[in-house]
A and B are shown apart, each in its own frame.
Chain A
């Protein structure tokens, strides 16, 4: 998710990207993984690579391709959001976090990194679409892998907010503090007091923009909290009232 956050054009059709800009940004997002896969393949083709390096490079090609495919699926899903109805159901946020951590584990492990889920006793259910929620958290997890310090684990967390009416699912990473002026640039004000997060410094923000769209389709919102030693990217969703009706 690289690019310049300062290059965003004025909002058009609810997107920080203009129509052509969206295509350019999406193309740029795909360029990095494709360029890496190509370099690895060229080296393998040329030979003179040790057996262990060869195995490592094949594994990297698979994981980078999978990550790029996730992005293309997100983009195509995002473009069809308005035409689709997404079934919302009460979901256990802790379980979703476990599933996402499990899915990202191979990518993290291949980079010598750790991803884990903070334990939460009897979490309140969130009203969400399972697929969209997973995609949002996968996106945050990918983002954290790129920006966090290599020796610190990335953690998925759940919490209640807004006096229990919302469930917050977040991905906490640890890394260099983002300067305040850069952080301000990450936020784009929408109307009233709502702040929608679009990207980190040097990020095109495309992945987070798509995550924001997925959240909106579930009547939720994404955001971020800046810490002295990193950041938490989160999605707020309505808490299920199902249990209180029993």
Chain B
């Protein structure tokens, strides 16, 4: 029996984080929540996820702090990252490609299933 994939959701809006987790759970994907980048780093250290869903503008250090941290550790650099943000139109593809970002989801236009599709695609 294959183990359910495990995703870390880094999102400082508690209700949106719950909503994302609910969507993933409906697709059989386990998840945990981190509300800020520093907490996420601790959680990744303790239990590396199969993928990360990451908001960009967080309270305190933003997503790029976490992305830099991931890239500085060989064992974490390959974890696929899905950015889920209200600022998708402000992110240049070439700027984020180097950070292991597989896909950018725009919170304002995505539908819940887009997240599941993005995670499954990243884990292929």
A residues contacting B by CB (< 8 A) are 2-4, 28, 31-32, 34-36, 38-40, 42-43, 46, 48-49, 53, 57, 60, 64, 111, 146-147, 150, 176, 178, 200-202
B residues contacting A by CB (< 8 A) are 12-16, 19, 22-23, 26, 35-36, 38, 57-60, 62, 86-87, 107-108, 110-112
Q: Which residues of A contact B58 (CB under 8 A)?
A: 202
A146 in contact with B86 given A31-B108, A35-B107 (CB within 8 Å): no
A-B contacts at CB below 8 angstroms, number: 62
**25 A–B contacts, CB within 8 A, in A order:** A2-B57, A3-B57, A4-B57, A28-B86, A28-B87, A31-B86, A32-B86, A35-B107, A35-B108, A36-B15, A38-B108, A39-B19, A39-B112, A40-B15, A42-B112, A43-B22, A43-B112, A46-B112, A49-B22, A57-B19, A111-B15, A147-B59, A176-B38, A178-B60, A202-B60
Label chain B's interface by main secondary structure: loop
Q: Is the CB of A36 within 8 A of B60?
A: no
Q: Which residues of B contact A146 (CB under 8 A)?
A: 12, 59
Q: Which residue of A lies closest to B23 (CB)?
A: A43
Could you tell me the distance between the alpha carbons of A200 and B13 in the complex, rounded to whole angstroms?
16
Q: Is the CB of B16 within 8 A of A39?
A: yes
Q: Is the CB of A36 within 8 A of B57?
A: no
